Every structure is written in C-alpha cells, then in structure tokens.
Copies of this chain bind each other. A is one copy, B any other.
Amino acid sequence: MAAVNLKQLAKILNLSISTVSKALRNSHEIGYATKERVLAKAKEMDYTPNPFASGLRRNKSKTIAVVVPEVANNYFALAINGIERIAQENNYHVLIYLTHEDIEKEKGIMKHLENKRVDGVLMSVTMNTNNQTHLSDFQQKGIPIVFFDRICHEIETAKVTTDDYISGINATKHLIENECKDIAFLSLGDNISIMQKRKSGYLEELHKNNMEAKPERVVKCGNDDEMNYQLVKKLLTGINKPDGIFASVEKLAITTYQVCRELNINIPKDVKIICFSNLETASLLSPSLSTITQPAYNIGKTAAEVMFKYLDKNKTYIPNENIFLQSTLHIRESSQQIV
C-alpha cells in the first residue's frame, strides 16, 4: 500500500540511506556489487523516489507548465500534443492551465506558478494581454518562459511562431488573385502580435495592389461568440458588403460560415473566405475551406525543445530568439473564383 522509501530500502539491504541513494543515482562512490544489489532490490520493491522530497532538495520540479487560452481548439490541442511528446521524452511532467482569454486569470496562474512549482513555462498569451508586467515579474523569479504563437515581444526570451506577416500577405494576395475587390479582415482583438502581423500583411498587400484599406473592413472580434456572430452578420448585411474575408483565426471563419448560411450568402460566389486554421475537416466543409495551416504540432514540439535545451544546462535565462516555422496555404473552394 504505502510507497516504499529509501529508509526502508536501506534497512532491508543493511546499508545506509545515503549509500542506497547514491547507488540508485549511479554514483561513482558506490561499488559495483552494491549497486547491483540495490538496483535489484529497488526494482523488486517497486521503489520510486518521492518527487516532493527530491524536488525540495534539488530545487527541480521536473515539470513544465503550458499556459494557453483554450484547449478545445485544434491549434492549441496539436501544440500541446507536440509539447507533451517532448516532455515525455525528457521525463518531464506537463501542467496545463487555461486562461480562457482572461488576462486576470492569466495573471493569477502566473502568480501561482511563481513558487518553483515548475521549471519552465510554455505559453501563448491571451488576446487581451497588452501589459506584460506580470510576465516580466515572473521571469524575474528565475523561471524561464518560452512563447509560442501568441508571443509577447517585450519579454526577452525564445519565441516560436510562423511567419504571420508573410502568411497575411499570401492570403490576401490569393483573395485578390481571385477577383476580390473589397476584402475584410476579421481580427481577434488587436493587442497580440500575431494579429498585428497578420493585419500588416493584409494591409501591405492591399497597398501593393492599390486597394483602399477602409478601417471599417477591419472587424475587431473578441472572445464572445455571440457578439462575433453579430459583428460578422453586420459586416455581411446590406448592399455594401465585402466580397472577400480573411479570418485571422479558425473560429471566426466558422462563424462566418454560419452567418452566410443564415443570410443565404453563397461562398465563394458572393464572398470568398480564407483563414488561419488547423481544422481537420476543412476539406469536408461545404464549401471546403481554404486555410493557412500552421504546423501546430511542430510549433509545440519546437517550443518544448528550446525550453529543454536550456533546462538541461540549468540555464534559467533564455536569450532572445525568434524561431519561424512555415505555414502552408491550402487553397480549397471557399476562396476560389468559379470558372
């Protein structure tokens, strides 16, 4: 029942606690025969070190935290997958925290993590994170952060993203090539860097094509699905509606599909759509959805790898570094000119 500890193991083996401990950690101080004996007995008795005791002693938690806005989201789910994979390989444990895009919750979580419960944090900030003092404060405590996707520029550390600016350009260019004359951009808030980059790409490409960038074509959506629905509905109601939509995140594209269905707007005839998405069923939608797909799994994996690169070296300071992974454009029906 009760887990066996070093003391019991030592008594049975007629050795001191420290000898047993050292034997298990394969210390050079211990003779070969003794090591063998200890190892065998430990296995037999199913000994496994108490993580709290060794954590306390060594000041190592063997745990990382993943802080993300949500998990019921293909992108983050895949990223977590990649992170968990690397963590398991490194014999680390993964704590998960969801902010639900609530900056106060994010602050609370970081506060909770300050006390060395974890050796490092991988995170994507909320769409409302415009102030980063809680993050720099956290770093001050000596726990490294690595950002992925929703990064925080002001914090000096490693950041793993895709090239959102280029993708923004490509998506917009694609819509223009398919005869869109009036393209709207559905943004998720406007604080976070990926939004600014995606929007920059969008604006840049409009400019390059001598198309007017009307402010009302940038729709600032948020975390409230119902509100987003109304915003998109408003955008697509009336005579003066756009003929192209670039949704910055998956859920806004889905909302757009739903609105179009309600308003009987035909995609892609009346309006063409492209979006950032990791939706598995994109090709099965009606019409199939054109996407910019981020290598979510690899982003998570890479972020974790960078983290462990420093944790292994016992470095708590991670120098600034921007790692870009490439997204892929999947052109499907929703964005194409019907010929």
Which residues of B lie under 8 Å from residue A61 when comparing CB positions? 52
Asked if A116 meets B81 with Cβ closer than 8 Å, knowing A1-B142, A96-B96, A285-B284, the reply is: no
Asked if A95 meets B98 with Cβ closer than 8 Å, knowing A115-B51, A287-B286, the reply is: no
Q: Which of B81, B88, B286 contacts A285 (CB 8 A)?
A: B286
Among the stretches A67-75, A169-177, A216-224, A239-247, the one at the interface with B is A67-75
Which residues of B lie under 8 Å from residue A77 when comparing CB positions? 71-73, 77
Using a CB-CB cutoff of 8 Å, which residues 236-283 of chain A contact chain B?
Answer: 254, 257-258, 261, 279-281
A23 close to B (CB within 8 Å):
no
Which residues of B lie under 8 Å from residue A116 when comparing CB positions? 3, 50-52
Asked if A142 meets B2 with Cβ closer than 8 Å, knowing A51-B115, A73-B77, A80-B71, the reply is: yes
A49 close to B (CB within 8 Å):
yes
Distance between A229 CB and nearest chain B CB, rounded to angstroms: 14
Which residues of B lie under 8 Å from residue A88 when comparing CB positions? 97
Once the chains bind, are A94 and B93 in contact (CB under 8 Å)? no
Which residues of B lie under 8 Å from residue A93 when comparing CB positions? 95, 112, 117
Q: Which of B96, B285, B286 contacts A84 (CB 8 A)?
A: B96
Distance between A318 CB and nearest chain B CB, rounded to angstroms: 16
Which residues of B lie under 8 Å from residue A96 when comparing CB positions? 80, 84, 94-96
Which residues of B lie under 8 Å from residue A319 when comparing CB positions? none
Once the chains bind, are A95 and B94 in contact (CB under 8 Å)? yes
Distance between A8 CB and nearest chain B CB, rounded to angstroms: 14
A339 close to B (CB within 8 Å):
no
Which residues of B lie under 8 Å from residue A97 when comparing CB positions? 84, 88, 94
Which residues of B lie under 8 Å from residue A114 when comparing CB positions? 3, 46, 48
A78 close to B (CB within 8 Å):
yes
Asked if A56 meets B48 with Cβ closer than 8 Å, knowing A77-B73, A93-B95, A94-B95, the reply is: no
Distance between A51 CB and nearest chain B CB, rounded to angstroms: 5
Distance between A16 CB and nearest chain B CB, rounded to angstroms: 21
A140 close to B (CB within 8 Å):
yes
Closest-by-CB residue of B relative to A65 is B93
Distance between A86 CB and nearest chain B CB, rounded to angstroms: 12
Closest-by-CB residue of B relative to A59 is B52
Which residues of B lie under 8 Å from residue A142 when comparing CB positions? 1-2
Complex-state Cα separation, A95 to B83, whole angstroms: 13
A141 close to B (CB within 8 Å):
yes
A-B contact pairs, 14 of them (CB 8 A): A1-B141, A1-B142, A3-B115, A52-B116, A70-B81, A71-B80, A72-B74, A93-B95, A94-B97, A254-B281, A279-B281, A281-B285, A284-B285, A285-B285
Leading 3 A-B pairs by shortest Cβ distance: A286-B286, A52-B56, A52-B55
